[in-house]
Each structure stands twice: as C-alpha cells, then as structure tokens.
C-alpha cells in the first residue's frame, strides 16, 4: 500500500510539474529552450545496519527485557536511495527493526517498511517538496522536524513544503502535514511558515540575518476526546480547559560585526495542554499525588554572543524556558511526538566519565547560562575552560559544571590532552528518581596520542571519577591502536572502584573496525553500565547492556 501511494504521488507530481513547465513555455515571449528529457540520472545511497547479540548478566542489571530473557538477537537497518533526473530529486528510505531496543530500551520493537520518501523540484524561484520533510524555523524553538538515528528519533513532517526566493537575500517558506510516528502518523495537523533575510552593511562591515516564524498544532477529535476523558476524572480544583489549536511565534536574528557574532531568538506559545510530572494532583479521596495535565501558555528566550580574534575565543550563552512543552499529542514522552527542539545548555562532553552525567533540557522551566573560553598560549599549548549553570525558575539548582582542558603538542608524533571536571547533577529531576541524592563528581582525565609512523598511531585515555552518590567512584582506561587507512583496534575498561549499588565490577569493551573505501565494518564485545546516552545534543537514560555489537555502514 505504501509503495502504491509513493509511486502514485510521484507520477501525479511529475505530471503537474510538466504542465506548469508547458504553461510557462506557452506564456513566454522568448522562444522555448529545448532541454534533454533524460540526462542519464544520478543515483546514490547508503546502508547502515546495527546488529546486537544480548548476553544476560544480572550482576550489572542486563536482564528482565525480552532481548535478554528469550530473543538474544536484534537488528536495526536503514537503506537510503537518492535519484536525480528531469530536474527532480527523489529520496526513498527503507527501515527495518527486529527485536530493537532503540525506540524503548526496556521493551522490544519489530516492524519494517518505507520509513521516508520525498520528491523535490525547483521551478525558477519556487521550491516544491512533498513527502517526508526535515526542516526547522530559526533554531527549532517552535518547529523542528529532524532525525537522530542513534536514539530512534524521527520526527519528520509528512506533507507539503514550499519555498520562494524573492531575491538572493530574502525567502519565505510554508509547510503543512502530520508528524511521523514510526510507520504511521500522529493525527494532529501541523502547519507553519517563516520568512528569512540577509542584510549587509556598507563595505560588509556588518551583516544581519533576521527572521520571523509561526507554527500551529491542531488536535484531531480523537486526541481531544482522550484529553477530555482524562481531565474529567480530576477534582474541581484541578479542572482545566482544553483547546483544539495552539499557536507559536518566534523572532530571531544573527548580527555579525567584525570579530563579534550575536544571535538572539525569542518565542511564545498560546495555551496548550501538556503533562506536568511535578504538578500536584488532588485525588477524590483527599490524597495528593504528582503528575497531571495542565493548560498554560509558554515562552522561551535564547541568546549567544561570541568573540574570536587570533588565538583567543569566547562564547557566552543564556536561555530561559517556561512551559514550552510542544507535542503532536500530550500522551507521548521524551522526544517522541515533539514538534520543536530546545537545545541543552550544558557542554556536550565526549570522554566516557566526563559524559556520564548530562543535563537534558527541562522544557517546563529552567534558567541556564554557559560560558566557553579558548586561548592558545603558544603554537604548542592551548587552554579551554567551560562553565555552565542551570536552575529551575524558582532558583532550585539542577546542574552545574566546571570543565577545564589543556592541550600540549610536544612534537609531530606526540601530543597530550588533560583536564579536570567538577559537576553538580540533580539526578532526581533529570532521571525521574524520587528521593535520590544530588550527584557531585570530580573527574580528572588525560589523553595521549603517539604516532609511530604516518599510518600507525596509539591513543590512550585515562580518567577517574570521584563520586559518593549513585554508583560511586569509577576508573576508566582506553587504548586505541590505528593502522591507517583500514584498521582500528579498541580495548577499554570501566571499573566501579568504590561501589555503592553493586560489587566492584569491571565493564570491558573490546572491538575492531575495518574500513575499506566507502565501507565500514565494526564489531565489539561490550559490558556497559546504565546511564545517560547522548547524540546530537539530545540525551536519554538507558539501562545496562551486555553482549556483542556489530555495525555495517556503506555509501555508494
């Protein structure tokens, strides 16, 4: 059925565009220009496949899910195909999930089918696209249709998208459709548009890139009936209204002058129904519990200011968010069904222990500030300091981090990197664990890279986490040996040196990667403690893993 719809849409769209071109030729005063009907076409694509073999290990908590108890095997696979001809761009992606834990790490998901298709055509200054659309307004505060594959996030808009370029500096766009839900659609209708421009000062001394956007989400009758059914069980004191449509507006601008760049964006949202897990709900018995639907307007403002000159660079960021939960339906959780995207204001760390605790955006309310300073003392020595602070609107501390880093290039063969991280992490809020202690960590870390030859190199990573909450303190070591251009061998271990929840367990990882032309093959044996996993600035909590992971990726 999906294939039939796809090729029917493709054919109808081709006929429509052909008629438009024909009409343009008839109305033109200039003689028509004959273009070849088929220039041979161009086809490209990619394949990505993840294979997981699950090995039950109750000591680390890798048990209790279908994969560990009976399935022992799971795969995720995406095949992308791109074809261009006759002035059209066609895209098709086939998705396949078998016993997958990506969608929900505590359950199993199996399905397959067409995960995305789109058709694009440019007619003079008009751009037309139908199908699955990935786009955003501004930084994404009021609308962002995006994919983050490692976390099984695919919030594509399925519908139509138009753009028109008034000139080289100004363009307008509009869209309408429904958001993707795995291999089906959410019923709510989403629509919106934006105008973006570019202004340049005299002699290019300054530039300005302003923009304004609007988006709307309209509930269908089925979703509204579900909301009404839920709130009718509330006591009168918790009673709320419910409206079909919610509107969001944003204005943004990037100003560049000399060595300074300033970005600012503000957004407001009309009254919307969403779930507040921290709101107090009164039961008919007189008892109170946390979590209920509320209806409130929302707002968010974000700004960043950066200055770069020579060996010195500084970037300052600030954001205030209040009731900006914006979803296709209020019954979804995490990033499923999210219409917009609010970036985290904490540094996205890469080392294993510095990245163990990450601060996800709190869309119901947070005040955040971040500063990042970089300075090269010499050609061989560089410094980096990052400070971030996040609180709730009532000034309750959520997250605080001080991150420092020093790089030293001793020679072409040998280089060092090291630093210290201090963290304050409200685990109760970020991981929804009532009654747990505030996590505070001290993490010294170091990395050494030595190049034996132009093709052979060894990278060693060492770090220690001093922590008296959650799982306790950790030791981590990694050795990565590369033989360019084909091989990478990795061996690492994470050891719970002063455990608070389990015995002193070693979590090893041993793997190898082979790269040949545009093909990449990787296999590894992994034991991984439960914790936060981040990708593209998006973080979520995942349970422990034990088993073998394989990855195959190829482009053509």
∠ CA 519-521-527, nearest 5°, is 155
CATH says 344-556 is which class? Answer: mainly beta
Cis, peptide link before residue 485, omega less than 30° from 0: yes
Residue 233's pLDDT band (cuts 50, 70, 90): confident
Cis, peptide link before residue 199, omega less than 30° from 0: no
User: Under a CB-based contact definition with an 8 Å cutoff, are residues 381 and 407 in contact?
Assistant: yes
Residue 180 to residue 187: CA distance in whole angstroms: 10
Condensed to tens digits (0 to 9), the pLDDT of residues 486-543 reads 999 999 999 999 888 877 889 999 999 999 999 999 999 999 988 877 666 667 777 8
User: Under a CB-based contact definition with an 8 Å cutoff, are residues 339 and 190 in contact?
Assistant: yes
* Beta strand residue intervals within 55-156, DSSP E: 73-85, 88-100, 109-123, 126-133, 135-136, 144-145, 147-148, 153-154
Cross-strand bridge partners of residue 64: none
Least confident of 20-24, 74-78, 327-331: 20-24
For residue 122, give both structure tokens: 């440019």
Please compute the mean of the pLDDT values over residues 444-448 and round it to a whole number: 97
- pTM: predicted TM-score of the whole model, two decimal places: 0.85
pLDDT of res. 441: 97
Residue 64 to residue 541: CA distance in whole angstroms: 17
The sign of the torsion formed by the CA atoms of 466, 470, 472, 473 equals: negative
pLDDT of res. 390: 97
Helix (H, G, I), strand (E, B) or coil at 43: strand
Residues 6+ apart with CB under 8 A from 545: 62, 526, 527, 528
For residue 303, give both structure tokens: 């700004």
**b/e burial code for range 172-185 (CB count within 10 A of at least 16 → b):** ebebbbbbbbeeeb
Condensed to tens digits (0 to 9), the pLDDT of residues 351-364 reads 999 999 999 899 99
Helix (H, G, I), strand (E, B) or coil at 204: helix
Residue 508 to residue 119: CA distance in whole angstroms: 46
- Return the DSSP state at 327: B
Cross-strand bridge partners of residue 462: 446, 477
Average pLDDT, the chain: 89
pLDDT(33) > 60: no
Residue 77 to residue 96: CA distance in whole angstroms: 5
Residue 354 to residue 465: CA distance in whole angstroms: 8
The CA R_g of the chain, rounded to the nearest whole Å, is: 26
Residue 95 to residue 102: CA distance in whole angstroms: 13
pLDDT of res. 35: 43
Residues 6+ apart with CB under 8 A from 118: 89, 90, 91, 129, 130, 131, 132, 133
Look up tokens 């219409």; give the residue.
339
pLDDT of res. 464: 97
- Return the DSSP state at 437: P
pLDDT of res. 1: 45
pLDDT of res. 27: 40
pLDDT of res. 18: 40
Please compute the mean of the pLDDT values over residues 286-311 and round it to a whole number: 89
* Beta strand residue intervals within 239-287, DSSP E: 245-257, 260-282
Q: Residue 502 to residues 33, 267, 544: CA-CA distances in angstroms? A: 75, 46, 13
Residues 6+ apart with CB under 8 A from 221: none
pLDDT of res. 12: 42
């Amino acid at each position: 059925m999906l294939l039939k719809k796809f090729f029917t849409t493709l054919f109808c769209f081709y006929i429509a565009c052909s008629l438009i071109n024909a009409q343009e030729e008839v109305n033109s005063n200039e003689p028509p220009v004959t273009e070849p009907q088929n220039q041979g076409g161009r086809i490209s694509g990619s394949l990505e496949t993840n294979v997981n073999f699950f090995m039950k290990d109750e000591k680390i908590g890798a048990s209790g899910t279908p994969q560990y108890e009976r399935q022992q095997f799971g795969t995720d696979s995406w095949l992308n195909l791109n074809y261009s001809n006759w002035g059209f761009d066609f895209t098709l992606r086939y998705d396949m999930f078998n016993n997958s834990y990506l969608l929900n790490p505590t359950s199993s998901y199996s399905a397959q089918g067409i995960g995305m298709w789109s058709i694009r055509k440019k007619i003079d200054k008009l751009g037309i696209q139908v199908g699955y659309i990935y786009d955003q307004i501004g930084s994404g505060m009021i609308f962002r249709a995006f994919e983050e594959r490692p976390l099984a996030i695919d919030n594509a808009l399925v519908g139509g998208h138009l753009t028109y370029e008034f000139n080289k500096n100004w363009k307008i766009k509009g869209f309408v459709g429904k958001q993707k839900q795995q291999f089906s659609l959410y019923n709510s209708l989403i629509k919106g548009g934006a105008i973006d421009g570019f202004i340049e000062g005299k002699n290019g001394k300054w530039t300005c890139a302003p923009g304004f956007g609007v988006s709307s989400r309209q509930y269908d009758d089925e979703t509204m009936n579900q909301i009404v059914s839920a709130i009718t069980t509330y006591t009168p004191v918790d009673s709320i209204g419910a409206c079909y449509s919610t509107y969001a507006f944003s204005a943004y601008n990037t100003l560049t002058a000399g060595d300074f760049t300033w970005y600012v964006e503000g957004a407001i949202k009309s009254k919307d129904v969403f779930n507040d897990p921290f709101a107090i709900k009164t039961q008919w018995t007189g008892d109170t519990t946390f979590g209920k639907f509320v209806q409130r307007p929302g707002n968010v403002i974000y700004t960043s200011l950066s200055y770069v000159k020579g060996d010195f660079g500084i970037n300052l960021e600030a954001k205030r968010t209040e009731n900006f939960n914006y979803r296709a339906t209020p019954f979804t959780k995490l990033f499923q069904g999210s219409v917009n995207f609010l970036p985290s204001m904490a540094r996205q760390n890469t080392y294993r222990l510095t990245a163990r605790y990450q601060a996800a955006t709190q869309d119901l309310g947070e005040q955040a500030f971040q500063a990042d300073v970089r300075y090269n003392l010499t050609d061989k020595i560089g410094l980096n300091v990052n400070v971030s602070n996040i609180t709730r609107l009532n000034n309750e501390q959520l997250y605080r981090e001080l991150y420092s880093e020093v790089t030293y290039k001793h020679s072409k063969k040998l280089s060092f990197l090291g630093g210290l991280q201090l963290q304050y992490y409200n685990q109760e809020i970020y991981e929804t664990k009532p009654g747990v202690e505030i996590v505070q960590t001290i993490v010294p870390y170091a990395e050494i890279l030595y190049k034996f030859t132009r093709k052979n190199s060894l990278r060693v990573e060492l770090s220690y986490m001093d922590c008296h909450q959650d799982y306790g303190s950790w030791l981590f070591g990694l050795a990565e040996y590369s033989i360019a251009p084909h091989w990478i061998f990795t061996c690492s271990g994470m050891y719970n040196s002063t455990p608070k929840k389990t015995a002193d367990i070693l979590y090893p990882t041993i793997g190898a990667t082979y790269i040949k032309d545009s093909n990449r093959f990787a296999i590894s044996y992994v034991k991984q403690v439960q914790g936060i996993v981040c990708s593209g600035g998006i973080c979520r909590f995942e349970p422990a893993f034990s088993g073998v992971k394989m990855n195959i990726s190829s482009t053509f």
